[in-house]
């Protein structure tokens, strides 16, 4: 969970484009894992996260639903 939040922080708030690309690549890869289901559930079950984690959770669910990935 912490790695996801750190990657989102870099993606949305870093000024280093190289680091943003790395974070984005890692997050896209993470979305294909089975563990992504657990993390998405944790994000959506907790009202203390800002819009970036919520958007990531929604995008992950959409990706998994469209691709039929379990």
pLDDT of residue 69: 60
Helix 51-67 × helix 2-13 angle, to 10°: 110
* Residue stretches of the chain with pLDDT short of 70: 69-70
- pLDDT for position 70: 58
Give the range of the structural domain holding residue 62, as residue numbers without chain letter.
2-67
CB neighbourhood size of 8 (10 A)? 20
At 57-66, the pLDDT tens digits run 999 999 998 8
User: If you write DSSP's letter for every residue of 27-44 in order, what string do you get?
Assistant: HHHHTTSTHHHHHHHHHH
At 67 the pLDDT is 83
Q: Work out how many domains the chain is built from and give that number.
A: 1
**What local confidence, expressed as pLDDT, does residue 68 receive?**
77
Nearest Cα to 8, choosing from 65, 68, 70, 57?
57
Distance CA(49)–CA(63), nearest Å, equals 21
Task: For tokens 């000024």, name the residue.
Answer: 15
């Amino acid at each position: 969970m912490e790695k996801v939040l750190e990657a989102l922080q870099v993606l949305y708030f870093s000024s280093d484009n190289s680091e943003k690309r790395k974070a984005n690549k890692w997050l896209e890869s993470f979305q294909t894992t089975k563990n992504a289901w657990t993390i998405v559930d944790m994000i959506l079950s907790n009202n203390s996260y800002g819009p970036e984690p919520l958007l990531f959770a929604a995008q992950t669910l959409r990706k998994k639903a469209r691709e039929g990935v379990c």
